[in-house]
Amino acid sequence: MIVSFHVTHTSAGGVEGLNGIISKLEKTADGMMKGCDAINEYLIVRTCNRFEVYTATEDNPTVKDVFAQLSKDCIPEEAGNVSFVLEDYSSIKHLFRVICGLESLIVGEDQIQHQMRDSYINARAEGHIGSMLSYLFDHALVVGKRVRSETALNKGAVSVGSAAVELAEQRFGTLDGKTVAILGAGDMATVIAKNLVGKSPKTVFVSNRTFHNATILAEQLNGTAMTWDRMHDVVADSDLVLVATSAPHCVVHYGNVLEAMTNRRDRPLLFIDVSVPRNVEKEVGDIPGVSLETMDSLQNIAMDNVAKRTAEIQEAEHIIRQELAKIEKERAESTANELIRSLSIKLGQIKERELAEAKTRMKTADPDRVLEDFSRALLNNLTSELYINMRKASRNGDWDTCRAVRVLFGLEGE
C-alpha cells in the first residue's frame, strides 16, 4: 500500500511562510522515515511550493502515526492544519496530478516534472526505494509525458518565471524601453530571462554572487553582467527588478532602496520577488513610488491561467483517469500473479516429493500399483488443506469462501 504526506502552497493557503515549515520538515523527515520499521520504501519531494513523502508499507496505521508526529514536530500550531495524508488510490492520483502540473501554483508548468524525476533519481541512488515506488514513479513520469505531448496544458505562461514577466507587463503595460534587472542566475532566473526575450527592454542587468554565472545569463539577453557589490546601483537604475536568488535571507533592504529612490524624480520602481524565502524586505513595499510583488502576488495570474485552460485541464484529467485504471488493473494482475507463483511452488513441491517416492518404489513394486498409489497420494496432498479449510469455512458460516471454491474450480453449474 502507498501512504503519503503532503504540505503544499494550496494546503498552506499560499507560499508565504511555507519555506520555514518545509525547511524543518526536510531536516526531520528523512530520519523519521529511516527509523520506522513499518516503512519498506520512501521518497521525499521538496520544492519551493511543496513537501511530500511517498511511502510503501503494509502497516498504514503506523505510518499515519509517524506522519502525525512529523507534522506535530515541524509545523507550529499557529500555522493551522496545513498538512494532509493520503492513502493508496488517492496518493497515486495526487502524484499523477502533481507531475502533470495540475497541482502547481501555475497550472501546467514543466519544472515540477523535472523536480519529481530528480527526487526519484536521488531516492533510488540512496537506496530508499524498491520495486513498488519505482513502478509507481516510472508510471507517473509516463503520465506526465503523455499530458504534455497530447494536450496544450504546458503552452503559454506556465511557469513562475513566465508569470512574473506577465505580471510586470500588466503593471507597466509594456516592457518596451524599460530598464530591467535580474538578481540571481540560477534556474528560476534563467526561466525569467527566456521569457524576457522579445519584450524589447532597453537594458537588462544581471547581478549574481557568482559573476561568471551572471555573465553567462547576461549574454543570452544581450545584457550587462554586474558584480554583486554593485547590486544596489543596478536597482537604482532600473524600472523593474526581478529577484530570483537562492539566498536563505533578504538581499534587498529597506534602507538601500530608500536611498536609491532619492534621485529617481518620482520614477516608479517595481520589485517582483519570486525567491523562496523572500529576498526583498517586506518594508520595501512601503516606500513611496515602490511596488513589491511576491510569489503570492502571482495567484491572480495563476487563477486566470486555470480559467483559460479549462479544456486542457479536462483533457489532462481524462488521461490521468485512463492511467489510474491501467495501473489498478496492472496491480490487481500483479497480486494474482504473485498468488499463482506461490501456489505453483507449493504444488510443485508436493508433486516432486510424491514423484520421488514413486520412482523409488518403481524399482521393486508392481508399476500399476505404484502409479495408483502415486495418483491417490498426489490427489490427497493437493486437496487436503482445501477440504479442511472448506469444512472450517462452512462451520463458521463463511459462505464467501465456499462460493469462491465453486468459482475457482468451475463448479458453478453443478
Report in angstroms the alpha-carbon separations of 161 from 18, 144, 153, 219. 19, 20, 16, 18
Catalytic residue among 36, 48, 74, 100: 48
Rg (CA), the chain: 31
263, HSE (Cβ side, Cα atoms, 13 Å) = 8
- Asked if 274 and 301 count as a contact pair (C-beta separation under 8 A), the reply is no
Q: How far apart are CA 80 and CA 71, in angstroms?
A: 11
**Dist. CA 158–CA 304, nearest whole Å:** 11
Type of residue found at 308 = K
What single DSSP character describes residue 393? H
- Omega within 30 of 0 (cis) for the link into 277: yes
In the chain, the amino acid numbered 45 is V
Q: How far is CA 299 from CA 25, 104, 237, 285, 303, in A?
A: 25, 11, 28, 18, 6
Distance of alpha carbon 272 from alpha carbon 293, whole angstroms? 5
Instruction: Indicate if 48 belongs to the active site.
Output: yes
Q: Compute the distance between CA of residue 7 and CA of residue 86 in angstroms, rounded to an integer.
A: 12
Q: How far is CA 372 from CA 128, 350, 351, 383, in A?
A: 54, 16, 14, 17
Tell me how far CA of residue 147 lies from CA of 3, 54, 90, 100, 321, in angstroms.
25, 22, 19, 6, 12
DSSP 294: E
**Parallel, antiparallel or unpaired: strands 240-243 and 269-273:** parallel
213-250 residues labelled b (16+ CB within 10 A) or e (exposed) = bbbebbeebebbbbebeebbebbbebbbbbbbbeeeeb
Catalytic positions, written as ranges: 48
